[in-house]
Each structure stands twice: as structure tokens, then as C-alpha cells.
Amino acid sequence: MTLKKVRTAILISGRGSNMQALVEAARAPDYPAEIVLIASNRPEAPGLAWAEAQGIKTLALDHTSYATRDAFEASLQEGLDAVGTEFVALAGFMRLMTPTFVKRWHDRMINIHPSLLPSFKGLHTHARAIAAGVRISGCTVHFVRPEMDEGPIIAQAAVPVLSSDTEASLAARILEAEHTIYPTALRLVTSDRTRREGEKVIISQDVNPSPTLYSPRE
Ligand code: GRF
């Protein structure tokens, strides 16, 4: 029997290394999501060029050429609908979305953030983690809600913060963990192995997080 894959679009603004991790994971025949579109609000995003070279459908919508956020999102929605998008993964998408757009994709849009939420929401997370002297940081995949970097947590990975760390070295260590948990999280939410109770995401027993790794294992 062929697996009916969930048609997933990825939204980026820049480098796109998380997008690349998702695209590569989705090549596995048993992966429950298929990547049908890579869209960017920055036409010059390096990730867009990579996706094009892979033969994936891309959409560049320069947000600066839209008078309003609503107008930008209307175009984005059109692009998503044109390829039958069922699920959206934000991967370094640096544009705040209106509550209307977020609600339209309620429980069908996820994001990755480079901290252990709810700590260090927003920008400059690595510098702020170092300045705060935390010993452990990490990354979080969560469902998107209208408030920035908020929403039910799907997966987290913990990463040590070393006393010798710079913003760049910590970012690189966390990024490596991001590339592992994002494909895992997308797999979980597109394969009905999670359910939401209130604002908590429950993962089915067989893929429960290991207590030492703090992230779902498959
Ligand atoms: C990642 O650290 C992600 O967590 C954050 O933005 C960065 C994007 O990097 N939201 P990339 O474009 O996926 O390489």
C-alpha cells in the first residue's frame, strides 16, 4: 500500500539548513510528509537556490513589495493553496505572521527555535543564553501560535553551554541538534503519533523521549 504523504511547505528567509534537513529526511520512502514547496520572503535567500537546484518547487515573495502584512500573506496563502499544502514548517522564517494567518494553520504549522522554550524567546538567543550563564541550552520544535515563539512543544534537544563558548560556537552546536529534532518532530506530527491535550503535545508511548536525550527517539 502506498503511504498517503502529508503535503508540506517549508517557509524560509535565509540559509535554509533546517529546510535541507527536512527535505533530505522526507526522501525516505516511509517518511509521512512530502515537501511540495519552499517559499521565501527574501528572493535572495541561499536556501531558495539550493531548493531550486534540487528540482523542488519554489516561491519567492519579496515582503518589501507588499503594502501590508495582509497583502503579503494573501499571496503566500495563494501559493500554498496552488500546490495543495496541508502542513507548513517554518525554518528560519523571519517574518511575524498575523493572527488570522496563524489561526488558519492552527495545529498545521510548526516552527523551530534555537533555545529551550519558554526560555529565550525572540532574537539573539545564543548571546542571551551565554550572558545568563545557563549550563544547558538547546532547541525546540513547537506548533505556531499568534504570540512569537509560543505554542505546544513537540520536541526539544538539550545542548551543553561551555564556558569557552562564543555565540557562533554555541549556535553551531545547537544547529546540529536542530537538524536532528526537526525531521523527527515533523515525522511525529504528520504520522498521527501525537495528540494535543490542552496546550500539551502527547507523543505515543513507543516514541516517548528518552530521559537522557530529552528528545523523541524513533
Ligand atoms: C535556526 O537556528 C532556527 O532555529 C532559527 O533560525 C535559524 C535558521 O537557520 N529559527 P537555517 O536557515 O535553518 O540554517
Strand, helix or coil for residue 80: helix
Query: pLDDT digit of tens for each residue in the chain (218 aa)?
Result: 677 999 999 999 999 999 999 999 999 999 999 999 999 999 999 999 999 999 999 999 999 999 999 999 999 999 999 999 999 999 999 999 999 999 999 999 999 999 999 999 999 999 999 999 999 999 999 999 999 999 999 999 999 999 999 999 999 999 999 999 999 999 999 998 888 999 999 888 655 554 444 444 43
What is the structure's pLDDT at 203?
85
Q: What number does the ligand 1 atom closest to the CA of 14 have?
A: 12
Q: Whose CA is nearest to atom 1 of ligand 1?
A: 92
Q: Is 113 marked active-site?
A: yes
Other beta carbons within 10 Å of 162: 12
Mind listing the domains of the chain with CATH numbers?
1-105 (3.40.50.170), 112-218 (3.40.50.170)
How many whole angstroms from 1 Cα to the centroid of ligand 1? Answer: 36
Whether 33 contacts 4, CB under 8 Å: no
What is the structure's pLDDT at 192?
80
> Residues lining ligand 1, CB < 6 A?
12, 14-18, 91-92, 112-114, 175, 178
How many whole angstroms from 18 Cα to the centroid of ligand 1? Answer: 6
Q: Whose CA is nearest to atom 2 of ligand 1?
A: 114
In angstroms, rounded to a whole number, what is the distance separating the alpha carbons of residues 83 and 173? 35
How many whole angstroms from 100 Cα to the centroid of ligand 1? Answer: 24
| Annotated catalytic residue, options 63, 113, 142, 179 | 113
Q: What number does the ligand 1 atom closest to the CA of 171 have?
A: 2
What is the structure's pLDDT at 213?
45
What is the structure's pLDDT at 215?
47
